[in-house]
């Protein structure tokens, strides 16, 4: 079903895509390079957890620094770049016009990645801030903010200059993420680094920032991609869409209060973790609504739909687990253990899987050609799915075991370490598998950059039809 003549609608679309090809490709290649780098650092870090002597003599890779480095590389390098790329593509597509200000975008991307590089190196030399998910040294943080503004500007412009007056759920989520990030980032920078607040208030703000990074930045970007991909590929209107607006606002309003769940039993007033639990339960309303909307995600599908599906299930599970384990009776076991790492990996996996799906969809469109190798695509998919499942489950079990042992004062730390060592060996293998999969994606992407677009390749893209406004 190929067409040699294109209607005005598809000309517009392909123009939007090709005009942003250079800028978005830059973002994506940067994100994939950081994904692989971060994957290597994360693997080394996990190996050190079960074999402390590994790389112990190298001051650059001492465990504490390596932990901060892998976190920074994956969150600011991979998630930062890829999230923005997906958001900008979605907003330009739905806004109906090409990305404007791509020069700023390219400049911003350059400075953002220079910043992350300086940040990671700075951590290796000992300048880390000690705040979780905000470990980059003081001197590089303002640069990140400026670079971000340059990158996000085209996205907001794509939304304000949109052709249709009405907006779609994707746009709400994407604009929310792009708009809110600089506010909570700068607030955290000021109150933690430049005019620090006193004592344990720093931990309140640090957890507020870390929670916002997921709830107001990574999650909305992933959900934005889902809201676009599902009707786009399935060709059906999403059911119960009239409630999508409530799902959106419940995430934005309640999600930011959940940071206190990391401070249960800590030196902060007890109301902070309690409020976090209340918010954690209320934010499940958002998960419910998105679940109702995403009924088309199940069933057979290509790689994009499969990534989106498993990422979505991971997202739902992550929300339930975060709320459940904010209850103090569960937290007494899982707090301060590897279970928390499993929780973070689950949340991060949900973001990554959905973004992988979005990348597999959008890259052919901006490049004008299909992915060169189906083997690499399938390999990446299997490696990622298997890798994340095994990683999260093994860390979860290790953490639970560790937690129950920690609460028994007769068990020494050596015994606890011996207990969770096998789980960590399995987790390291899973992390290595993830790295292999991500390398496959990187290789595939670099190959697609060199594919020359031609008329023949353009005809691969089938003409989509118009969606009927069916009743929910």
Partner 1 sequence: MKNGPLFILGLFFALALSWAGLALGTHAQLGDLQPYYDDLEGKAFPQRAPGIASRGQLVYQDLGCMSCHTQQVRRPSYGADEARGWGSRQSVARDYVHQNRPLLGQNRLGPDLANFGKRAEAAGTTKIDLLVDLYNGSQGMPAYRFLFEEREIVGQTSGNALHGVAPDGYELVPTEHAETLVAYLLSLKQIYEYPEARPYAPDVNQEGAR
Partner 2 sequence: MSSQDSHDPRLEQAAATDDSIISAHEKAAEGRPDVDGNYRLMPLVLLFVFSGMIFFGGTYLHRYTGYFSPEIFDERQHAGGPVIAAPKMDPVVLGMKQYNLACVTCHMPTGQGLPSVYPPLVDSEWVTGSEERLIAIVLHGLKGPITVKGNVYSVAAMPAFGQVAGGGYNWSDEKIAAVLTYIRQEWGNTAGPIETATVTAIREKEVGRAEWTEAELLKLP
Of residues 55 through 94, those in contact with partner 2 by CB under 8 A are 93-94
Task: Pick from 101, 154, 273, 319 the residue near partner 2 by CB under 8 A.
Answer: 273
Q: Which of residues 420-459 bind partner 1 (CB under 8 A)?
A: none
Q: Which of residues 37-56 bind partner 1 (CB under 8 A)?
A: 48-49, 52-53, 56
Q: Considering the complex, what minimum distance in angstroms separates the CB of residue 257 from partner 2?
A: 10
Q: Which of residues 404-423 bind partner 2 (CB under 8 A)?
A: none
- Name the strand (E) or helix (H) holding 415: helix 413-449
**Could you tell me the two tokens for 150?**
């340059």
Q: Counting contacts by CB under 8 A, is residue 269 touching partner 2?
A: yes
Place of tokens 């220079």: 114
Q: Counting contacts by CB under 8 A, is residue 267 touching partner 1?
A: yes
Task: Pick from 68, 74, 87, 144 the residue near partner 1 by CB under 8 A.
Answer: 68
Q: Which residues of 279-318 are buried (b: 16+ CB within 10 A; e: fewer)?
A: bbebbbbbbbbbbbbbebbeeebebbbbbbbbbbbbbbbb
Q: Counting contacts by CB under 8 A, is residue 216 touching partner 1?
A: yes
Total site size for partner 2, rule CB under 8 A? 74
Look at residue 346 and give the partner it binds from partner 1, partner 2, none, a contact being a CB closer than 5 to 8 Å depending on partner kind.
Answer: none
Q: Counting contacts by CB under 8 A, is residue 238 touching partner 2?
A: yes
Look at residue 202 and give the partner it binds from partner 2, partner 1, none, a contact being a CB closer than 5 to 8 Å depending on partner kind.
Answer: partner 1
Q: Which residues of 176-196 are buried (b: 16+ CB within 10 A; e: fewer)?
A: bbbebbeebbeebbebbbeee
Q: What angle do CA 189, 114, 48 make, to 5 degrees?
A: 80
**Could you tell me the two tokens for 326?**
């904010």
Q: Number of C-alpha atoms within 13 angstroms, CB side, residue 28?
A: 31
Q: How far apart are CA 141 and CA 106, in angstroms?
A: 19
Question: Closer to partner 1 at the Cβ: 137 or 357?
Answer: 137
Question: Closer to partner 1 at the Cβ: 194 or 453?
Answer: 194
Look at residue 284 and give the partner it binds from partner 2, partner 1, none, a contact being a CB closer than 5 to 8 Å depending on partner kind.
Answer: partner 2
Q: Counting contacts by CB under 8 A, is residue 201 touching partner 1?
A: yes
Helices (H), 96-140: 102-124
The closest alpha carbon to 221, from 283, 172, 284, belongs to: 172
Q: How far apart are CA 449 and CA 366, in angstroms?
A: 10
Q: Which of residues 408-427 bind partner 1 (CB under 8 A)?
A: 408-409, 413-414, 417
Q: Considering the complex, what minimum distance in angstroms separates the CB of residue 5 from partner 1?
A: 35
**Could you tell me the two tokens for 411?**
């068990």
Task: Pick from 21, 29, 64, 419 the residue near partner 1 by CB under 8 A.
Answer: 64
């Amino acid at each position: 079903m190929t067409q040699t003549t294109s209607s005005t609608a598809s000309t517009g679309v392909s123009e939007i895509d090709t005009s942003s090809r250079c800028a978005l490709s830059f973002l994506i290649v940067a994100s994939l390079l950081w994904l692989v780098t971060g994957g290597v650092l994360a693997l080394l870090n996990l190996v050190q957890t079960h074999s402390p002597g590994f790389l112990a003599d190298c001051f650059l890779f001492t465990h504490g620094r390596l932990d901060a480095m892998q976190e920074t590389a994956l969150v600011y390098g991979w998630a930062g770049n890829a999230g923005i790329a997906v958001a900008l593509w979605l907003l330009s597509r739905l806004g109906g016009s090409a990305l404007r200000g791509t020069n700023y975008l390219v400049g911003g991307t350059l400075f953002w990645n220079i910043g992350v590089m300086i940040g990671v190196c700075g951590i290796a030399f000992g300048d880390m801030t000690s705040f979780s998910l905000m470990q980059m040294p003081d001197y590089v943080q303002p640069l990140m903010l400026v670079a971000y503004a340059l990158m996000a500007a085209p996205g907001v412009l794509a939304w304000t200059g949109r052709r249709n007056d009405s907006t779609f759920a994707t746009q709400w989520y994407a604009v929310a993420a792009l708009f809110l990030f600089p506010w909570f980032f700068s607030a955290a920078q000021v109150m933690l680094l430049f005019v620090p607040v006193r004592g344990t208030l720093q931990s309140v703000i640090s957890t507020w920032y870390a929670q916002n990074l997921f709830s107001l930045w990574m999650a909305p970007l992933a959900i934005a991609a889902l809201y676009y991909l599902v009707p786009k590929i399935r060709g059906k209107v999403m059911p119960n869409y009239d409630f999508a607006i409530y799902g959106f606002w419940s995430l934005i309003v309640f999600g930011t209060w959940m940071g206190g769940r990391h401070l249960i039993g800590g030196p902060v007033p007890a109301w902070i973790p309690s409020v976090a639990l209340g918010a954690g339960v209320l934010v499940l309303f958002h998960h419910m609504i998105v679940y109702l909307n995403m009924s088309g995600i199940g069933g057979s599908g290509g790689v994009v739909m499969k990534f989106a599906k498993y990422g979505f299930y991971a997202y739902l599970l992550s929300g339930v687990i975060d709320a459940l384990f904010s209850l103090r009776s569960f937290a007494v076991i899982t707090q301060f253990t590897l279970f928390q790492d499993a929780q973070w990996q689950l949340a991060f996996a949900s973001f990554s899987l959905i973004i992988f799906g979005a990348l597999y969809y959008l890259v052919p469109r901006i490049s004008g050609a299909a992915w060169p190798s189906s083997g690499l695509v399938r390999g990446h998919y299997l490696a990622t799915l298997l890798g994340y499942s095994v990683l999260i489950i093994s860390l979860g079990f290790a953490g639970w075991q560790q937690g129950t042992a920690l609460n028994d004062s007769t068990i020494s730390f050596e015994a606890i370490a011996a207990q969770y060592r096998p789980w960590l060996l399995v987790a390291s293998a899973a992390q290595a598998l993830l790295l292999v999969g991500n390398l496959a994606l990187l290789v595939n992407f670099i190959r697609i950059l060199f594919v020359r677009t031609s008329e023949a390749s353009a005809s691969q893209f089938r003409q989509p039809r118009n969606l009927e406004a069916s009743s929910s």
